[in-house]
Homo-oligomer: A and B are copies of this chain.
Amino acid sequence: MPARLKDIAEDLNLSVVTISKVLRDHPDISRETRERVLKRMKELNYRPNLAARALVTGRSYIAGLVVPDLVHPFFGQVAKGLSNGLRKKGYSLVLSSSEDDPALERQEIELLLARRVDVLIVASTQSSVETFHRLEEQKIPYVLIDRRFHGLAANFVGVDDAAVGELATAHLMDAGCRRIAHIGGPNVSTALGRVAGFRRALQAGGMAVAPEYVEMREHGDDAGAASGYKAMQRMLALSPPPDGVFCYNDPTAMGAMKAVLEAGLRVPQDVAVAGCGNVAYAEFLRVPLTSVDQQSGAIGERTARMALALLEKGAPPRPKTVLLSPKLVVRASTLRPRR
């Protein structure tokens, strides 16, 4: 059994209150007693029972994180940044994976609430905002990351998805592509934002958006590669086929690239490929992949900052939005000679 305040108190003929005060650096303890107590604490290697503390203070010093998929490097990076940011203030991170299942996500959120987490951070797969309205009723501070909801005024940290789409598409146009396609993702804000940026960039460049060049696919991120592969195969059968494609994310882009190469075409000469996410290994791919960096580390860090601010300063009158600017990382998959 681990030592308790009471044990130390008895050993030293003091009251638990005194020990507790030492623990919390309360001023009205003499230097002498403080040292005796600290010494004894060390000997017993005492650790306060945080569950007990949470019970009385009403603060658990736990943040809950719910992500759709831990294996996705993006969420891994976010979790890392978050964990590092929170650690400094003594917060722990409890992690839930929703497996891209809205029902499971709700259930996990319930569990986290039962644990009385101080703040909730979620990359949601919900299609409705009801869950979050409930959180607001109960005044649970929460931060949405990556994906957000139209019409829900919530604290949010993520990348500017429209800018992602614009950036990649403009770059493809710049690289000389004339028939630019898009392979998109499921029906969440990220995918919608990116395709919107894609359209906007094409229009700004005076190019039409051919409907057959746009395909939005419902898939988990893990199936991205297979999904991109199939979509690209279909597009290559068109005549004329696209000569550039912007993909919702990097796995999708990898699948698309595979389809292009298998069809006997070259990347980037025949079809230029750009992705999003800037995965660590983008450089080592078949053809090194041009990708839009989502700033995942920064998202984690900014989210930690926002979460801590919520806890320390209370909820701001108007929820804050942090929109990070994406950065284009150009590699061989779009590097083709200008003509």
Contact = CB atoms under 8 A, between A and B. Distances in A.
Interface of A: 2, 47-52, 54-55, 60, 62, 69-73, 76-77, 79-80, 83-84, 87, 90, 92-97, 99, 108, 110-116, 138, 222, 225, 251, 254, 257-258, 279-281, 284-286
Given A2-B138, A48-B114, A51-B115, A254 B284 contact: yes
B55 A83 contact: no
A71 B60 contact: no
A84 B97 contact: yes
A94 B93 contact: yes
A55 B62 contact: no
Contacts of A60: 51
Contacts of A52: 55
A51 B279 contact: no
Contacts of A48: 114
A266 B136 CA distance: 59
Copies held by the complex? 2
A122 B108 CA distance: 23
Contacts of A110: 47
Nearest to A83: B97
B97 A94 contact: no
A92 to B, nearest CB: 5
Given A72-B76, A87-B108, 19 more contacts: A2-B116, A2-B138, A47-B113, A47-B114, A48-B114, A50-B115, A50-B116, A51-B116, A52-B55, A55-B55, A69-B80, A70-B76, A92-B95, A92-B112, A93-B94, A94-B95, A257-B284, A281-B281, A281-B285
Contacts of A112: 92
A62 to B, nearest CB: 7
A71 B108 CA distance: 22
Contacts of A90: 111
A70, A72, A94, A97: most-surrounded residue (chain B CB, <10 A): A70
26 contacts: A47-B113, A47-B114, A49-B114, A50-B114, A51-B60, A55-B55, A69-B80, A70-B76, A72-B76, A84-B97, A87-B96, A87-B108, A90-B111, A92-B96, A92-B111, A92-B115, A93-B94, A94-B95, A251-B281, A254-B281, A254-B284, A281-B281, A281-B285, A285-B285, A285-B286, A286-B286
Contacts of A49: 55, 114, 116
Contacts of A92: 94-96, 111-112, 115
